[in-house]
Amino acid sequence: MTLALDGGTPVRTDPWPAWPPPLDPAQRDLVTKILDSGLWGATQGGGACESLTAAFARLSGVGHGVAVANATLGLFAALRGLGVKPGDEVIVPAYTFVASATSVLLAGAVPVIVDVDPADLHLSAAAVEAAITPRTAAIMPVHLAGSPADMDDLNAVAARHGLVVVEDAAQAHGATYKGRPIGGLGDAGVYSFQASKAMTAGEGGLIVCRDQAAHEAIWSVCNLGRRLGGQWYGHPEVGWNLRLTEIQAALLLPWLDRLDAEIDRREAFVSALDFGDLPVSVVPQPPGTTRDSRHLLMLRVHQPFDRDFLLRAMAAEGVPLDGGYPPLGTMTALTDAGARAEECPATAGAARDVVWMRQSMLMDDPVRAGDLTEALRKVLS
Ligand SMILES: *Cc1c(COP(=O)(O)O)cnc(C)c1O
């Protein structure tokens, strides 16, 4: 047995649930069927990508979708399809995965990195409003950690200034805001199926949107500039091949049937947490959250602590935590590439005080929630 950093017995020695969860028979059957059919590409008429797209549009409360190779490209395609042009500015939160900004760069646009709400760490409507210039074309709320950004406030700012709204839903499959599914609250929403996400095919992504013209434009970006229903070798627009494979769609389609149960399971784990008098709390959800998909559990530590020590000591206790995102504005690769960063004190605070527990751990039996608090108690004392 390995020892905890204090030389004692680790709080936890048995493994946490693996991610992804074991394949279920429905996934195995559908993947095998697709493999046997030889129809591995979405252009061959096998229909798995088409079914997945329809299912995600339904899940998001909209009529349209486009399955793509990953969410980075999906965000790019949504921006481009919705008319974001080189030189335009797109407002993104500072506390998010880097792809929220690099997708903007891919569209030739300027990521404008603004601060998050100091409590819930989601894109702040006030910070967005303050960063708007005549070149602002879009905003990209991120449904961070599985809880929806406060979309009514953000949509109101966007409407006042005539901006496009692209929801980064990479972490929030199945979440709802004021009872309405995310993904369908802006002009487009983009899910990810990368290996760490709540539904995964190793890689993958899916764009959903309400408007038919937007769908046709986004579809064209993802299909070499073709017109939906038009000639195969007719390319009236510039576009790329950003498609998902049928094999990936076959892994994902059956997953939709258990997504709700998996969210409930993670929620039960979180509900079982009792921090008692520990100087630790769960980062609150933005107002309007009616279902948090619990992609990550963000924990704020309310006393000064050494991050490296905390992360190493928690790992040694068998309860590994994650350090989370550095503020996007501190990434020189982004600013060197033209991103503009506003002052982001709340994000700096999150980078200092917030650590994460991963969704795979939240899939454990809720009776094991005490492992987290017991390990924190040892490490913080
Ligand atoms: C994972 C992630 C992405 C990128 O998704 P990929 O499918 O890996 O390209 C974008 N934004 C956020 C918030 C993410 O967590």
Which pLDDT score, from 0 to 100, does residue 237 have? 96
Residue from 56, 72, 95, 200 to probe ligand 1 pocket by mutation (most atoms less than 8 Å from CB): 72
Which tens digits make up the pLDDT trace of 175-210? Answer: 999 999 999 999 999 999 999 999 999 999 999 999
Any idea of the CA torsion for 192, 196, 202, 203, to the nearest 10 degrees?
30
pLDDT, residue 288, reads 97
Cα–Cα distance measured from residue 192 to residue 331, given in angstroms and rounded to the nearest whole number = 23
Centre of ligand 1 to C-alpha 76, Å, is 12
Query: d(Cα 143, Cα 169) in Å, to the nearest integer?
Result: 6
Tokens representing residue 265 in the block: 């399971």
Place of tokens 């792809």: 99
| 330-372 pLDDT per residue, tens | 999 999 999 999 999 999 999 999 999 999 999 999 999 999 9
Choosing from 68, 142, 147, 171 the residue with most ligand 1 atoms within 8 A of its CB, the one to mutate for a pocket test is 171
Largest Cα–Cα separation, the chain: 69
Q: Is the pTM of this model over 0.95?
A: yes
25-257 and 260-380: identical CATH topology: no
Ligand 1: residues whose CB is within 6 Å? 70-72, 96-97, 99-100, 142, 168, 170-171, 192, 194, 205
Percent composition of the chain: helix, strand, coil (DSSP 3-state, to 5):
40, 15, 45
Three-class SS of residue 65?
strand
Q: Which atom of ligand 1 is nearest to the CA of 96?
A: 13
Q: Do residues 221 and 243 touch, judged by C-beta distance below 8 A?
A: no
93, 98, 107 from 84: Cα distances, Å: 18, 19, 7
Residue 178 is among the residues annotated as catalytic for this protein: no
Q: How far is the CA of 251 from the centre of ligand 1 (A)?
A: 19
Q: Could you say which DSSP state residue 243 is in? A: B
Classify domain 25-257 at the CATH topology level.
Aspartate Aminotransferase; domain 2 (3.40.640)
Assign domain 260-380 one CATH number from 3.30.70.1230, 3.40.640.10, 3.90.1150.10, 1.10.10.10: 3.90.1150.10
- Segments making up each domain of the chain, as ranges: 25-257, 260-380
Of 19, 1, 7, nearest to 357 by C-alpha is: 19
pLDDT for residue 7: 77
Strand partners of residue 340: 112
Are 58 and 81 in contact, with CB atoms under 8 Å apart? no
The ligand 1 atom at the shortest distance from the C-alpha of residue 103 is: 10
Segments of the chain with pLDDT less than 70: 1-2
Whether the Cβ atoms of residue 276 and residue 64 lie closer than 8 Å to each other: no
CA–CA distance from 70 to each of 99, 167, 190, 292 (Å)?
A: 10, 15, 9, 22
> 325: which DSSP letter?
P
Dist CA 112 CA 163 (whole Å): 14
Q: How far is the CA of 78 from the centre of ligand 1 (A)?
A: 14
Atom 1 of ligand 1, nearest CA residue: 170
Protein residue closest via CA to atom 8 of ligand 1 = 194
Ligand 1, pocket-test mutation among 19, 97, 121, most atoms within 8 A of CB: 97
Measured from the Cα of 73, ligand 1's closest atom is 9
Supply the residue whose CA is at minimum distance from atom 2 of ligand 1: 170
* Catalytic residue, candidates 33, 85, 178, 197: 197
Q: Which residues contact 337 (CB under 8 A, 6 or more apart)?
A: 105
Nearest CA to ligand 1 atom 6: 71
Determine the pLDDT at residue 218: 98
* SS3 at position 274: coil
Q: What letter would DSSP give residue 327?
A: P
Q: Is 375 helix (H, G, I), strand (E, B) or coil?
A: helix
Q: What is the C-alpha to C-alpha distance for residues 296 and 293, in angstroms, rounded to an integer? A: 9
